Amino acid sequence: MNQTISLPLWLFVLIIAFAAVSFGSNFLLPSVRWFFRARMERALARLNLRLDRPIDLFKLAERQDRIARLVYDATVMEAVADYAAETGQPVPVVFEQARSYAREIVPGFSTTLYFGVAIRLARGLSRTLYRVRFGKPDEALRQIDPKATVVFVMNHRSNMDYVLITWLVAKRASLSYAVGEWARIWPLSGMIRAMGAYFIRRTSRNALYRRVLARYVQMTTSEGTTQAIFPEGGLSLDGRTGAAKLGLLSYIMAVEGRDVVFVPVGLAYDRVLEDRVLIRAAAEGSRRFRVRPLTVVGGVLSVALKLLLGRFKGFGTAAAAFGQPVSLAAFKASHPAPSTEALAQHLMRAISAVVPVVPVPLVAAALL
């Protein structure tokens, strides 16, 4: 028992290293995780007290947990079986395909990135590029049942829409967006996903994909996640509000058990960042936006240089206005046979009614 044991130095170092790893993994790291988790939960509780629309638990769940919940949902499993029978593929193959769609769609969410970084960037970018004029959403949100799911519906004028509306409602709610294929580029995709946005293939006709997407939208709506969607499904080529696409609205309309309240938002700009691209697309009669990377980089560098030299005059006025909330339950009650088309038309009229009038388009219309 009292004999001295000689060990090679390398073995002694290895034993100490294993002991340190064991101590860290079993005692130190759990304590550190508990400490930071407790701090995060307290910070989140304070944040939810400040927000009119608290962040729901579904949005805060781990991304892998939400993916698993979506994939093993009874509706998705039924869709897998139907698609396998329709195409003749083995069920395990179709299930893996559905899992890949779920991984593609389901976002993550970081409160630190959203409220600590994204909001500051959105505010700074909006004020740098535009003179921002807006009506406050406070009154519109205070009228809404706290148990209802809020969905902001907006006309789509520019990719600045995401930035502008995120900042404007930052003190009231965190938003989950449906974003198209343009945002699925590295490293933009990771940041957008961490901000709670979910990716959709707007032109996909795959039946399995559409059913997985529909179920995700219905699940997140049922859980009370505050969302923002662009019913037009794409940028306006001439500034006018267009007809609504029915996909996302039909998914939301099928939700039962919780009222959904749509808040119309009208957006207008003196000049949009994509003006030349949109003019070219309108002239060609195509909605394919050919954006040259070098042109984008050149434009960013030009604006940055003008800012450094104090010669940047901005892109004029950006304005936003909020309309009266539209309750889905009330809409269904007032329409004997409510349809997605009728809801879409009603919402687009409500959006058009609150689109602000800004100086440059007003003068241009007067001169034409």
Ranges assigned E (strand) in 125-253: 131-134, 149-154, 176-179, 198-199, 227-229
Give strand pairing partners of 267.
320
pLDDT at 348: 95
Q: Hunting for tokens 């907006």 — which residue is that?
A: 154
Tell which residue, 348, 157, 170, 357, has the closest CA to residue 264. Answer: 348
Which string of DSSP letters, residue by residue, matches 30-94?
HHHHHHHHHHHHHHHHHHHHH-SBPPPHHHHS-HHHHHHHHHTSHHHHHHHHHHHHHH---HHHH
pLDDT at 36: 47
Which tokens sit at 180?
A: 């198209």
pLDDT at 52: 60
Tell which residue, 116, 125, 111, has the closest CA to residue 158. Answer: 125
Return averaged pLDDT per consecutive 10 residues of the chain, 368 residues in all.
Answer: 66 73 62 52 55 60 84 94 93 94 85 78 88 78 83 91 85 81 58 74 87 94 90 86 90 91 94 84 74 71 83 89 92 89 95 93 86
- For 259, other C-beta atoms within 10 Å of its C-beta total 15
Say how far apart CA 266 and CA 295 lie, in whole Å. Answer: 29
Q: Radius of gyration of the chain from Cα atoms?
A: 25
**What is the domain partition of the chain in residue ranges?**
60-269+317-367, 274-314
Alpha-carbon torsion angle 216, 218, 219, 222, nearest 10: 160
Whether the Cβ atoms of residue 258 and residue 221 lie closer than 8 Å to each other: yes
Tell which residue, 325, 60, 69, 340, has the closest CA to residue 212. Answer: 69
pLDDT at 145: 85
Which class is 60-269+317-367 in CATH? alpha beta
What's the predicted TM-score (pTM) here?
0.81
The SS3 assignment for 345 reads: helix
